Amino acid sequence: MPTPRPFARYEWLIAWRYLRARRSEGGVSVMTWISLIGITLAVFALIVTMSVRAGFRAEFVSTLLGANAHVTVYTGGDLDPATGRVIRGMSDFDAMADRIKGVPGVTRAAPVVRGQVMLTANGRNSGAEVYGIRAQDYAAIPAMTDGQGDQGDLAAFDTGIAIGMGVARELGLAVGDKLRMISPDGAKTAFGTSPRINAYVVTQIFTTGSPDIDRLRVYLPFAEAQSYFNREGRADEIEVTVERPQNIEDYAQPLLQAGGPQAMVWTWQDSAGSFLRALTVEDNMMFILMSILVLIAAMNIISGLVMLVKNKGRDIGILRTMGLTEGAILRVFFLCGATTGILGTLGGIVLGSLFSIYFTPIFDAVNFLAGGGVWDPEVRPIYTLTAQLQWRDVAAAAGLSLLLSFVVTIFPARRAARMNPVEALRYE
């Protein structure tokens, strides 16, 4: 007589019969439902957690790349032949910018003058970082054209100053108001350096998507910034944006060659690298912690199967005397536990995916019911919290759940397979 193949049809039928058995028939339907619901909720929580973490990272990187240069090219300065002192910045900034624009993959190269100042208006003061930039380069910054809630006229940039929404809120400013900008490094006189105080009209209030940037940054026309910061004929650095900022390391060497022998580069990953590494560590730790929930839920399968084996001792003895092998009995009870794990995993994937896809309206509803303030951008680097469903996260959650469900099922299934049929039927 040929040996039946593993996981034959009759093994599935017996396992399905045991899963559907009522408690009065010796089944453990209550424990099965508890195991099923536990695995579903654990997989759901794992997928949602990883999706929210991925959304936070994507939103942070998008905000960072939309408002800041992908690469900054700068030099150590030029040597003044008259005094022998190093003069900050570069004098050949236009030629350097043209060379950098010729590098394949570079989309923008803009000379910039930078400085730190104090802003004052309406009896309030605020520190700020000034970026002096040409109007056409300012209009090419993605955050300046894509920002929601911007106020003012982008075309009027050359006639005043553009400030972040946080700066405007802190100083109580609106478009058309005046503010004073104070720098301690002002005009040089016979009695020393005196502070420089200039007044500017607010022509635009912008939002970049990052509260930190909107609280500190202002933009000034390039020629005005050169005069204000004593950089006549010079620029501090070249801001560069590229087509593939995620692969920024591929551009470093070509940019250095285009910049010249004294050029140095500083990428967005250099400035935000520590934060991104911290996010990676947090993502890994969250996955491990949420995996423990999946393990705890999978452990319920052991309880259900142990009770099932105990209640089905007579059936096991009869099946063994009918000719079923230890392997067949093991597979029957393995299928009972594995089916619970598979159904729970599928349920968790469906619920977790739907929750992640519709996370924004759900979050808005929770925020409304809570009276607002669930997500406070004042203490976080982005304005909104989003979820980004990534199929590799779904696959990792599903694989982990199935693996744990299959592993924990083996132990009670082996116990059933090794049960002595004589002992099982002795008292029947």
| Mean pLDDT within 316-321 | 67
Dihedral angle computed from the Cα positions of residues 79, 83, 86 and 88, in that order, rounded to the nearest 10 degrees: -100
Query: Structure tokens of 174?
Result: 């609106």
Q: pLDDT per residue over 106-129, tens digit each? A: 989 999 999 899 999 988 998 899
Give the pairing of strands 178-183 and 106-121: antiparallel
The pLDDT assigned to 179 comes to 93
**Dihedral of CA 57/63/66/72: which sign?**
negative
Among the ranges given (11-20, 221-230, 269-278), the one the predictor scored with the smallest mean pLDDT: 11-20
- As beta bridge partners, residue 131 has 114, 219
The pLDDT assigned to 119 comes to 93
**Residue 308 and residue 23: Cα distance in Å, rounded?**
10
**Residue 206 and residue 217: Cα distance in Å, rounded?**
10
Give the residue from 108, 116, 52, 78 showing the smallest Cα distance to 366.
Answer: 52
Domain ranges, ordered by start, for the chain: 9-62+275-425, 76-262
Residue with the two structure tokens 């993502």: 283
pTM for this one?
A: 0.75
**Residue 319 and residue 337: Cα distance in Å, rounded?**
19
- Identify the band that residue 21 occupies on the pLDDT scale cut at 50, 70 and 90: low
| Mean pLDDT within 76-94 | 68
Residue with the two structure tokens 């910049």: 259
Cα distances from 140 to residues 104, 204, 269, in angstroms, run 18, 15, 21
Contact between residue 307 and residue 85 where contact means Cβ atoms under 8 Å apart = no
Residue with the two structure tokens 């990792």: 396
- Identify the band that residue 395 occupies on the pLDDT scale cut at 50, 70 and 90: very high
Percent above pLDDT 70 for the chain: 80
Orientation of helix 29-67 relative to helix 359-369, angle to 10°: 90
**Residue 365 and residue 362: Cα distance in Å, rounded?**
5
**Dihedral of CA 237/241/245/249: which sign?**
negative
The pLDDT assigned to 26 comes to 46
Q: pLDDT per residue over 211-264, tens digit each? A: 888 888 999 999 999 988 888 888 989 999 998 888 888 888 999 888 888 888
Cα distances from 109 to residues 61, 67, 218, 220, 255, in angstroms, run 20, 14, 19, 17, 11
The pLDDT assigned to 7 comes to 64
Per-state percent for the chain, helix, strand, coil, to nearest 5? 55, 20, 25
| Mean pLDDT within 115-144 | 88
**Residue 151 and residue 137: Cα distance in Å, rounded?**
19
The pLDDT assigned to 349 comes to 94
pLDDT reading at 161 higher than 60: yes
The pLDDT assigned to 240 comes to 92
Mean of per-residue pLDDT scores for the chain: 81
Classify the phi-psi angles of 156: left when phi > 0, otherwise alpha if psi is within -120 to 50, otherwise beta: alpha
| Mean pLDDT within 146-175 | 84
- Identify the band that residue 367 occupies on the pLDDT scale cut at 50, 70 and 90: confident
The pLDDT assigned to 199 comes to 92
**Residue 269 and residue 72: Cα distance in Å, rounded?**
11
**Residue 23 and residue 40: Cα distance in Å, rounded?**
23
User: Which position has the higher pLDDT, 140 or 327?
Assistant: 140
- DSSP 8-state symbol, 372: S
| Mean pLDDT within 5-23 | 68
What is the distance, to the nearest Å, from the Cα of residue 182 to the centroid of all Cα atoms in its chain?
38
The pLDDT assigned to 112 comes to 93
| Mean pLDDT within 185-212 | 79
The pLDDT assigned to 78 comes to 63
pLDDT reading at 36 higher than 90: no
Percent above pLDDT 90 for the chain: 19
